[in-house]
């Protein structure tokens, strides 16, 4: 082999090694990007970014640009998901806050209702006049013997009327308030005493 051939071989070997290194970088980038797309973790995204930063050769320019576009899409997707999660959290927090306010309002209303004393006035009993009226028994005067002589029948009727009047007066003298004529107590209906 000549020196030229030897130099050519050395140049080709160097280029092949360089190409193999580029292929290795591209494979590592694709693997890291796939992992980041699945996990969507900050650590995996930073790993992809470091690999992209290390790709400085013009030969890798096209693969690098494609990877950057894919990484940007991934970052945008993650931001959308985070925004959605935040919006959901805010909606849940708002709903919880509204529910809490409603619960507090309802509880406060229940407490106010239970604290209020209801005033129920007892129904008044209307006075009812007694339905029974007291009637004194008519006492008959004992039969008196008529004096002998004329006009006995007139004296007897007059004496009997006088005797009845006297008996009525005597019977009414003991009645006061709720006393009954026989000395007992009369009930006063509707008063409850």
**Residues 136-158: what's their mean pLDDT?**
54
d(CA 158, CA 167): 14
Query: Between 72 and 101, where is the model more confident?
Result: 72
At residue 150, what are phi and psi to the nearest 5 degrees?
A: -75, 165
Q: pTM for this structure?
A: 0.47
Minimal CA–CA distance to 75: which of 113, 36, 102, 47?
36
What mean pLDDT, rounded, does the chain reach?
Answer: 76
d(CA 70, CA 60): 15
Predicted local confidence at residue 165, as pLDDT: 65
pLDDT for residue 118:
53
Contact in structure between 138 and 148 (CB atoms under 8 Å): no
Confidence of residue 21 (pLDDT cuts 50, 70, 90): very high
């Amino acid at each position: 082999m000549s020196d030229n051939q030897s130099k050519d071989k050395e140049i080709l070997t160097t280029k092949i090694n360089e190409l193999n290194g580029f292929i290795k970088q591209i494979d590592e980038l694709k693997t890291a990007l796939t992992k980041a797309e699945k996990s969507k973790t900050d650590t995996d995204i930073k790993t992809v970014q470091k690999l992209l930063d290390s790709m400085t050769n013009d030969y890798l320019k096209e693969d690098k640009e494609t990877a950057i576009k894919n990484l940007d899409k991934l970052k945008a997707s993650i931001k959308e998901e985070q925004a959605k999660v935040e919006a959901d959290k805010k909606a849940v927090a708002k709903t919880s806050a509204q529910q809490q306010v409603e619960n507090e309002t309802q509880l406060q209303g229940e407490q106010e209702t239970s604290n209020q004393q209801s005033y129920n006035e007892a129904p008044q009993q209307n006075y009812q006049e007694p339905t029974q009226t007291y009637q004194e028994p008519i006492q008959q005067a004992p039969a008196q013997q008529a004096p002998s002589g004329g006009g006995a029948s007139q004296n007897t009727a007059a004496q009997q009327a006088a005797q009845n009047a006297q008996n009525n007066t005597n019977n009414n003298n003991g009645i006061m308030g709720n006393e009954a004529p026989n000395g007992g107590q009369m009930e006063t209906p509707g008063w409850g005493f």
